[in-house]
Structure 1
Amino acid sequence: MEPLIINGTDDTPTISFDHNSGVCEISGKSLPEEVVNFYAPVIDWVEKYALKPKDSTVIKLKLFYFNSASQRYLLEVLNCFEKVKDKGSVSVEWHYHEDDDEMRESGKEYEDMVNIPFKFVSFQTIKN
Structure 2
Amino acid sequence: MQTLYIEKTKATPRIAFDAATGILNMEGDSYPENAMHFYQPVLDWLSLYLIESFTPITLNFRLDYFNTSSSKCIITILEMVEHAVKAGRTVTLNWHYYEDDDDMREHGEEFAEDFSIPFKFVAIPS
RMSD: 1.1
After superposition, the C-alpha distances for 1:53-104 in whole angstroms (9 at most, x for unaligned) are 3431100000010001101110101111123222520111000000011100
Runs of 4+ deviating beyond 4 Å: none
Displacement of 1:113 after TM fit?
Answer: 1.4
| Structure 1 residue aligned with 2:70 | 70
Amino acid at match of 1:94: W
Kindly report which structure 2 residues correspond to 1:54-93, keeping only aligned pairs within 5 A, or say none. 54-85=54-85, 86-93=87-94
- C-alpha distance in 1 between matches for 2:73 and 2:92: 18
Amino acid at match of 1:29: D
CA contact (8 A) 1:39 1:73 kept: yes
- C-alpha distance in 2 between matches for 1:48 and 1:81: 12
CA contact (8 A) 1:50 1:83 kept: no
- C-alpha distance in 2 between matches for 1:91 and 1:115: 11
| Structure 2 residue aligned with 1:51 | 51
Displacement of 1:123 after TM fit?
Answer: 0.8
- C-alpha distance in 1 between matches for 2:113 and 2:52: 26
| Structure 2 residue aligned with 1:32 | 32
After superposition, the C-alpha distances for 1:2-35 in whole angstroms (9 at most, x for unaligned) are 0110001000000000110110011000000111
> Structure 2 unaligned runs (5+)?
none
Aligned pairs, how many? 125
- C-alpha distance in 2 between matches for 1:31 and 1:110: 18
Answering whether residue 117 of structure 2 is matched by residue 116 of structure 1, we say: yes
Amino acid at match of 1:26: M
CA contact (8 A) 1:53 1:88 kept: no
Q: How many percent identity over aligned positions?
A: 38
| Structure 2 residue aligned with 1:8 | 8
Q: What secondary structure does 2:52 align onto?
A: coil
Kindly report which structure 2 residues correspond to 1:95-106, keeping only aligned pairs within 5 A, or say none. 95-106=96-107
- C-alpha distance in 2 between matches for 1:84 and 1:44: 15
CA contact (8 A) 1:55 1:87 kept: no
